[in-house]
A and B are shown apart, each in its own frame.
Chain A
Amino acid sequence: MFAYLLRRILYAVPILIGVNLLTFTLFFVVNTPDDMARMQLGMKRVTPDAIAKWKHQHGYDKPLFFNAKNSGAAHITDTIFWDKSVGMFVLDFGFSDDGRNISREIKTRMLPSLAIALPTFLVGLLLYVSFALVMTLLRGTFLDTAGVAICVLLMSVSSLFFIIGGQFFISKLWHWVPISGYDSGWGGVKFLILPVLIGILGGVGASTRWYRTIFLEEIGKDYVRTARAKGVSEWAVLFRHVLKNAMIPILTGVVVVIPSLFMGSLLTESFFGIPGLGSYTIDAIQAQDFGVVRSMVFLGSVLYIIGLILTDVSYTLVDPRVRLQ
């Protein structure tokens, strides 16, 4: 187990290097630091001096990958790629274009993101699985068909409409909860209700249908027939047998997103004014702050890889046949 984890973690290093190389290529090779400086300083009437100064300030006045002027290891270490990438592996993200420490921002913004994402995830999972179980229990009836129809309908509505509609009706028209905002501590709960509700609603169609398919696939298997033949009640079949055996496909989809909950949801956070990582990213995208976007890409990949490893570990918990080696 331990050796397996170690190997997986070591395997993550080349992947992260690949991620870094990719974003680096996107940010610095496709568009040279000169282009970026011109962009940041305004497109017209930018003197070469100003560009050189901007590049020096932000540490972009070095060669990209290979420094021919230095000797020894400095060939590689005295370059933009080295400067901008190595720090990330120890989670030191450097400074954003407006001079703030990115690591610090991430730390303070993690909590609000989590405050939205965690309830959405947990309550959502519970609801979706229960809906799917009920629909499986009622399979073939009118209610099941109606449920599927509603799911398809909800799937076809863009999440933007859920957010705009929810804000309009619940907050603006009926004044139940504030439209947007955030507060730490218990006072913040009233701000969180709407985004969490909308997050759950946005996922209900696709997820419920997905779980229903999993359960239906499971319920057609031989062991279910045997259990029924032994006289086990339909409820017991569903909860004691089907749910347990459907755990593997469910976990495959679920566990991998748990670490990414930290990243927050871009849309929800920017609509509801939550000062989390999602809105941080959107702001950075709109302000074209590459340092922040690169850091978030890196962080996202790290969390995704952790999610993959956790998925494998979780298999061993629900299925004793799975052994990691």
Chain B
Amino acid sequence: MNFIPVILWSDALVFLLLSAGGVGVWHVRRHPHLLLPWQRVAQSSMAMVSLLLLSVFLLIGGLDTLHFREALPNQSGAYSPEVLSVLDKLLVKLKSQTEKTYSAPFATTLYAKETYTDAAGQVRRDYPKLRYGGAHLTDLSAKNSDVVRRSVQGGLVGLLVGIGLLMLRRLQPFALSLSKGDSNNARVHGSTCSPRTGKLLGSPRTGNVLASPLVIAWLMLCLFLGILANLATVYHVLGTDKVGQDVLYLSLKSIRTGLIIGTVTTLVTLPLALFLGIAAGYFRGWVDDVIQYIYTVLSSIPSVLLIAAAVLMMQITIDTHPQWFDTAASRADLRLVFLCLILGMTSWTGLCRLLRGETLKLREMEYIQAAQSFGVSSLRILTRHIVPNVMHIILISLVMDFSGLVLAEAVLSYVGVGVDPSMMSFGTMINAARLEMGREPMVWWTLAAAFSFMLVLVLAANLFADAVRDAFDPRLNRTG
């Protein structure tokens, strides 16, 4: 063993969420009436394309969540203080190929002129050649044709892999019918690489598989990833930042931060809103008064200020207790978890109010009154009758909140009350980019990278959330 796995707090919470999600999926699959709205979601090609994009983000974030520490080479039992993730290991080239300072996307030289002594011993003032970006080129003028050649190569390989995976999925219904016992396994396995593709292919309503938007999106994605992978190994596709780190690497690392803020926060909101909202609505009386008082107090404080105040306090606590943390990563991570906690504390009130209102309505229903008159205990009524009937509200509000939280992280980190400055996130990238925009000549690529990654992530999340809302909202009348 030349490494030890490290489970940071946020990792543990992600695993908890994943297992909860897994149980949820298993439960839904066994109940056709629960599966029905999801099938409606699956019928929306917009939702499935968004889900495809989201799952790419999830995959990257997931790989970035498996942390470990490598053993130091010449000491036994000692481990490097640097916490790495599987993603770091996969992107080792991107991570290690750092330049001296700024360089533009696809550049072969630094962004600013420097005075240096060349090989002949002469002092020159020019754009120094990059250490890694385009280092394989012997003739710098051949860069453009090299980029095109590599794009075509990478794109073709990506496309072929994409088509290959599609064919595999196509054969699967066949394989499934042959070996029924293995079906669950295949599903689980399939959901990691090409989620939902198989589901759609397997479903009877898609007659012409190749023309479906999802397949096209999947092939485009493979094409894009192929091109990117082939170029990123030899160029800095999105340039480098002030200390010469590859911006593509920074953006990929930022994904995990955004996803964690968007998802782990629900671990705080959900229980609070669910328990308090339902209790307030069902028991009324003084319970209702107390809970209403709590959420009115919390929601009357401007949330940015409450978050800022709490983060400031947490910062002091962290600074005064350095002994709690064995690595820098664990300190940054705890701050991230705290941020989720605080965001959760400020954002549960809306959902709580909704749930309270819905429960107030539900408790007057005949079937609840019938249960009450049969002497069914309150706890059982709540879990058997109320909770299943407010589930759609919870689900809709959770998926709708996700994109808002990702955006909030950027703003908070920008203001300085977000994640740890050493942690890569879209907010810290934008923060850095703001100074770079003022430079002459301007450094625009960090901002552009943060912008495009965030836009794709949030847009996909928004579109998916819309589809989920449409599928679950009982107010929308559907025919058939």
Enumerate chain A interface residues (CB-CB to B < 8 A). 14-15, 18-19, 22-23, 26-27, 30-31, 35-36, 38-39, 43, 152-153, 155-161, 164, 168, 260, 263, 266-267, 270, 281-282, 285-286, 288, 290, 293-294, 296-297, 300-301, 304-305
Contacts of B293 in A (CB 8 A): 14-15, 18
Q: How far is the CA of A30 from the CA of B459 in the complex (A)?
A: 39
Please state if B403 and A285 are interface contacts (CB–CB under 8 Å). no
Contacts of A14 in B (CB 8 A): 293
Contacts of A36 in B (CB 8 A): 316
Q: How far is the CA of A107 from the CA of B446 in the complex (A)?
A: 39
Selected contact of A152 from candidates B410, B416, B433, B459, CB within 8 Å: B459
Please state if A39 and B416 are interface contacts (CB–CB under 8 Å). no
Q: How far is the CA of A285 from the CA of B437 in the complex (A)?
A: 24
Given contacts A156-B462, A297-B309, contact A260 B434 (CB under 8 A): no
Q: How far is the CA of A260 from the CA of B411 in the complex (A)?
A: 19
Report the nearest A residue to B477, measured CB to CB.
A220
- Known pairs A155-B458, A285-B312, A293-B309. 15 more at Cβ < 8 A? A19-B300, A22-B297, A23-B309, A31-B320, A39-B319, A152-B463, A156-B454, A156-B455, A157-B455, A164-B433, A164-B434, A281-B308, A293-B312, A296-B302, A301-B297
Given contacts A158-B410, A288-B312, contact A22 B317 (CB under 8 A): no
B127 at the interface (CB under 8 A from A): no
Q: How far is the CA of A26 from the CA of B309 in the complex (A)?
A: 7
Q: Which of B441-480 contact A (CB under 8 A)?
A: 447, 451, 454-455, 458-459, 462-463, 466
Contacts of A156 in B (CB 8 A): 403, 454-455, 458-459, 462
Q: How far is the CA of A288 from the CA of B315 in the complex (A)?
A: 10
B219 CB → nearest A CB, Å: 23
B20 at the interface (CB under 8 A from A): no
Report the nearest B residue to A296, measured CB to CB.
B305
Please state if B459 and A161 are interface contacts (CB–CB under 8 Å). no
A138 CB → nearest B CB, Å: 19
Report the nearest B residue to A172, measured CB to CB.
B437
The 10 closest A-B pairs by CB, nearest first: A18-B297, A300-B302, A156-B459, A156-B458, A301-B300, A304-B300, A285-B308, A31-B316, A297-B305, A158-B410
Number of interface residues of B (CB under 8 A): 43
Please, could you name 17 A-B residue pairs with CB atoms under 8 Å apart, sorted by A? A18-B293, A26-B313, A30-B313, A31-B320, A152-B459, A152-B466, A156-B455, A156-B459, A158-B454, A160-B430, A161-B447, A267-B415, A270-B415, A285-B308, A285-B415, A285-B416, A290-B309
Contacts of B415 in A (CB 8 A): 266-267, 270, 282, 285-286
Q: How far is the CA of A158 from the CA of B407 in the complex (A)?
A: 6
Selected contact of A293 from candidates B308, B430, B455, CB within 8 Å: B308
Residue from B296, B299, B300, B433 with most neighbouring chain A CB atoms (10 Å): B300
B301 at the interface (CB under 8 A from A): yes
Please state if A19 and B301 are interface contacts (CB–CB under 8 Å). yes
Contacts of B317 in A (CB 8 A): 30-31, 35
Summed over the interface, the residue pairs from A and B with CB atoms below 8 Å come to a total of 122
Contacts of A38 in B (CB 8 A): 320
Contacts of B416 in A (CB 8 A): 285-286
Contacts of A270 in B (CB 8 A): 415
Report the nearest B residue to A34, measured CB to CB.
B320
Given contacts A15-B296, A19-B297, A288-B312, contact A168 B437 (CB under 8 A): yes
Please state if B302 and A304 are interface contacts (CB–CB under 8 Å). yes
A267 CB → nearest B CB, Å: 6
Report the nearest A residue to B461, measured CB to CB.
A156
Please state if A164 and B437 are interface contacts (CB–CB under 8 Å). yes
Report the nearest B residue to A300, measured CB to CB.
B302
Contacts of B297 in A (CB 8 A): 15, 18-19, 22, 301
B56 at the interface (CB under 8 A from A): no
Residue from B302, B306, B447, B458 with most neighbouring chain A CB atoms (10 Å): B302
Given contacts A15-B293, A153-B459, A158-B410, contact A297 B319 (CB under 8 A): no
Q: Which of B282-328 contact A (CB under 8 A)?
A: 293-294, 296-302, 304-306, 308-310, 312-313, 316-317, 319-320
Report the nearest A residue to B451, measured CB to CB.
A161
B414 at the interface (CB under 8 A from A): yes
Contacts of B298 in A (CB 8 A): 22
Query: Chain B 343-371, CB within 8 Å of chain A: the 1/0 string?
Result: 00000000000000000000000000000
Report the nearest A residue to B448, measured CB to CB.
A161
Report the nearest A residue to B413, measured CB to CB.
A160
Q: How far is the CA of A157 from the CA of B454 in the complex (A)?
A: 8
Query: Chain B 406-438, CB within 8 Å of chain A: the 1/0 string?
Result: 010011001111000000001000100110010
Q: How far is the CA of A161 from the CA of B352 in the complex (A)?
A: 32
Contacts of A300 in B (CB 8 A): 300-302, 305
Contacts of A301 in B (CB 8 A): 297, 300-302
Selected contact of A305 from candidates B300, B302, B310, B320, CB within 8 Å: B300
B470 CB → nearest A CB, Å: 12
Contacts of B447 in A (CB 8 A): 161, 164
Q: How far is the CA of A301 from the CA of B294 in the complex (A)?
A: 13
Q: How far is the CA of A168 from the CA of B439 in the complex (A)?
A: 12
Q: How far is the CA of A293 from the CA of B313 in the complex (A)?
A: 12
Contacts of A288 in B (CB 8 A): 312
A268 CB → nearest B CB, Å: 11
Contacts of B433 in A (CB 8 A): 164
Contacts of A286 in B (CB 8 A): 415-416
Contacts of B459 in A (CB 8 A): 152-153, 156
Report the nearest A residue to B406, measured CB to CB.
A158
Report the nearest A residue to B296, measured CB to CB.
A15
Report the nearest B residue to A20, measured CB to CB.
B297
Report the nearest A residue to B407, measured CB to CB.
A158
Contacts of A43 in B (CB 8 A): 319
Report the nearest A residue to B408, measured CB to CB.
A158
B438 CB → nearest A CB, Å: 9
Please state if B417 and A285 are interface contacts (CB–CB under 8 Å). yes
Please state if A15 and B309 are interface contacts (CB–CB under 8 Å). no
B466 CB → nearest A CB, Å: 7
Report the nearest B residue to A12, measured CB to CB.
B300
A276 CB → nearest B CB, Å: 14
Q: How far is the CA of A286 from the CA of B299 in the complex (A)?
A: 23
Selected contact of B462 from candidates A18, A155, A260, A296, CB within 8 Å: A155
Contacts of B305 in A (CB 8 A): 281, 293, 296-297, 300
